[in-house]
Amino acid sequence: MLRALGSALLTLIVLCAAPSARAQTQPDTLLVNRNSGMCVEIPRGNAEPGIWAVQYPCKDLREQRWTLTRAKSDYVIRNAASGRCLEIIDASTQDGHSVNQAVCDGSRKQVFRAEPIESWVRLVTVGGLCVDLRDASIDDGGLLIQRPCGGASSQKWTLYGRAQPSAWSSKISLPLVPVAAATLRNGKILVWSAYDRFAYGGDQGKTYSALYDPATNRSTERLVSSTGHDMFCPGTATLPDGRILVNGGSSSAKTSIYDPATDVWTTGAPMNVPRGYQGDTVLGTGEVLTIGGSWSGGEGGKLGEIWSPARGWRTLPGVPAEALAAKNDPGGIYRSDNHMWLFGSSFGYAFHAGPGVDMNWIRTTGGGAIKSAGPRGDDVYSMNGNVVMYDAGKLLKLGGAPAYELVRAVDGVYSIDFAEGPFARVKVAKQRPMAFARAFVNSVVLPTGDVVVIGGQNYAQLFSDYRGVYIPEIWRMRTGTFERLAAMTIPRNYHSVATLMLDGRVWVGGGGLCGDCPTNHPDAQILTPPYLLNADGSPAVRPAITTTPATAGYGARVSVTTDREVASFAMIRLNAVTHSVNNDQRRISIPIEATRGTTYTLRLPSDRGVLLPGDWMLFAMTKAGVPSIAKIVRVQ
């Protein structure tokens, strides 16, 4: 079945629908090849007949946009820039014959049939062959030809309909490459790089950081040397009191803590096991679990540890990282215990979702223990993929690659439901794939439960803009389908970040940190998602939360007043992200228990493993899903 892109696109591409006597058109459609992740275009929109159709990275350029006109089950495909139509010259049935453009004349040689194949379509030519890429090319300028139809990925196409209303801000210059970022309760964005603004290497005992203020659209830089900590490639966690904990990295045993209330960095207790590239998560107790990290501090032996404000770090001898690491990483343990996907849960457990294919429960009490949660279901090792909690105990796993670098990324998407806890079966379900395979990808959950997927590469290559994915996608929670958003102009690949702002927009930045190289991106842009815009692109009218408590307890009834009628509420925890890992990011829908005018009584969850202690963004939403600006509620 095809990716549903709204009722209009369904009408266009689902071939089993009843044919219409009147032609139907779908403008601004992209033809995305599954094998290469690239788009069909007419170079520079050249209107000369006979020009070959080729592929280039998808940037939503006019020469990459096509109007598909449907008559019965067939399509005429017209380029928006050149005004010409794709055709097979002379209606050839020759294997390897090119796909060209010509003056649109409605002849049979310009008619293509779209056949469903799994989650894509094959474009069948008049001679009964399929549109393919010469030599299954994954390179810029690869030529479209026709070949005998089969199951090759290079014959699978996504007909990606018009972008949803969305917009990018102008580029925001930063003093450094933001390799890590955290949204703070005051609405500012904390970012940092390494000992250098634009490079990393070794333990230099200092870190460049900056604080971006959306109110002024400016950032202020600070060199943090007081903690003696080079905070490149660490674990990160947003503590219950709003502070940001940073552990390990280039200074592999150190811990530093940033307090947004005082704007001060302080030294935390050192870890017992030095590490970098590990995974962290906050637990229901307010403690922090860290595991893995053979990138620094020596290879192997990266036992789990628990941090608490009173005791510092204690080891979990029953939680060896080797038991959680992927078994088939070509880089061995140096890579396989990196970037673990960890999520605090109920009953003193944390849930481990990958990147390896085997999921696990981790008991965090006593000396700790590991209990299998079964295979994830996709059977694909997904290093540098992404996982986000879009509702209580429900994860969306996106993309990744079977090695850290120099391999093709995957486009697979799976939902993982561990809401019933460590004593029940974890439910895994395959979702429709993304249109673009992505490694080094970031994803951000919105108040609606939809997930914005940003950046990454369809071929994992460190410190490179090559094969970057410029078109974000939004996964719709209610339908399990993807839609495309406005294209970026700056690639966001390795060492990029994305985080939700208090106003419901998405802050995206970084990429690079490679010294004197052309792929450093010391800048950011802000994405305005579809729910903040009307169909014509004008700003949607937003509700506002006028009163809410500053703190709340578990199972509490909370009274919230808005300036107009709303339909739903959700909470999203403040969080920190680096290297595509944002384990503390989680969204929870909050039921309305009673309504009186525009005053609503909300019931918070009583389970600390669901509603982790700390600062949460509370959003009110209209029936159409337009969110308010968030109010911060501290759960304690």
Place 377 in a pLDDT band, splitting at 50, 70 and 90: confident
- Where do runs of H (alpha helix) occur along 286-366? 333-336
pLDDT at 19 over 90: no
Q: Is the pLDDT of residue 15 over 50?
A: no
Q: How many CB atoms lie within 10 A of CB 363?
A: 18
Chain centroid, CA 413 distance in Å: 11
Contact indicator for 109, 129 with CB cutoff of 8 Å: no
What is the reported pLDDT for 218?
96
pLDDT in the model for residue 70: 87
Q: In the CATH scheme, what architecture does the domain 545-635 have?
A: Sandwich (2.60)
User: What's the farthest any 2 CA atoms get from each other in the chain?
Assistant: 79
Task: Work out the number of other CB atoms within 10 angstroms of the CB of residue 191.
Answer: 29
What dotted CATH number matches 7-160? Answer: 2.80.10.50
Q: How much is the mean pLDDT over the chain? A: 95
Separation CA 228–CA 158 (nearest Å)? 50
Q: How far apart are CA 2 and CA 5, in angstroms?
A: 9
Q: What is the distance between the alpha carbons of residues 505 and 488, in angstroms, rounded to a whole number? A: 15
Structure confidence by residue, pLDDT tens digits, 449-480: 999 999 999 999 999 999 999 999 999 999 99
Q: Which of 195, 494, 531, 600 is catalytic?
A: 494
Whether 16 shows a pLDDT value over 70: the answer reads no
- Which residues lie closer than 8 Å to 513 by C-beta, 6 or more apart? 177, 179, 193, 194, 198, 199, 200, 232, 463, 495, 520
User: Which pLDDT does position 71 carry in this prediction?
Assistant: 74
Q: What residues form DSSP beta bridges with 210? A: 191, 221
Across 579-587, average pLDDT: 96
Cβ distance 179 to 510 under 8 Å? yes
> Which residues make beta-bridge pairs with 360?
352, 372
pLDDT tens for 152-203 read 999 999 999 999 999 999 999 999 999 999 999 999 999 999 999 999 999 9
pLDDT band at 8 (very low <50, low <70, confident <90, very high): very low
Residue 71 CB-density burial (10 A; 0-12 exposed, 13-18 middle, 19+ buried): middle
Q: What is the pLDDT of residues 97-145, one digit of tens each?
A: 999 999 999 899 999 999 999 999 999 999 999 999 999 999 999 999 9
Domain residue ranges of the chain, discontinuous segments joined by +: 7-160, 167-532, 545-635
Please give the Cα distance from 207 to 182 (Å, whole number): 15
- 406-451: pLDDT as tens digits: 999 999 999 999 999 999 999 999 999 999 999 999 999 999 999 9
Return the sign of the alpha-carbon dihedral for residues 286, 291, 296, 301: positive
Task: Write down the pLDDT at residue 23.
Answer: 63
Calpha distance 504→507 (Å, rounded): 10
The β-bridge relationship of strands 358-363 and 349-354 is antiparallel
Top CATH class of 167-532 equals mainly beta
Per-residue model confidence (pLDDT) at position 623? 97
Q: Is the distance from CB of 451 to CB of 475 less than 8 angstroms? A: yes
pLDDT band at 17 (very low <50, low <70, confident <90, very high): very low
Give CA–CA dist 144/135, Å, rounded. 10
Question: What average pLDDT score do residues 478-487 get?
Answer: 97
56 is catalytic: no
Rounded CA separation 448/280 (Å)? 26
Strands 427-430 and 413-417 come out as antiparallel
DSSP-derived 3-state class of residue 433: coil
- Write the CB contacts of 204 (distance below 8 Å, at least 6 apart in sequence): 194, 195, 196, 230, 250
**Rounded Cα gap, residues 279 and 84, in angstroms:** 51
Q: Exposed, middle or buried, 200 (CB in 10 Å: 0-12/13-18/19+)? A: buried
Is residue 187 within 8 Å of 216, Cβ to Cβ?
no
Q: What is the pLDDT of residues 294-325, one digit of tens each?
A: 999 999 999 999 999 999 999 999 999 999 99
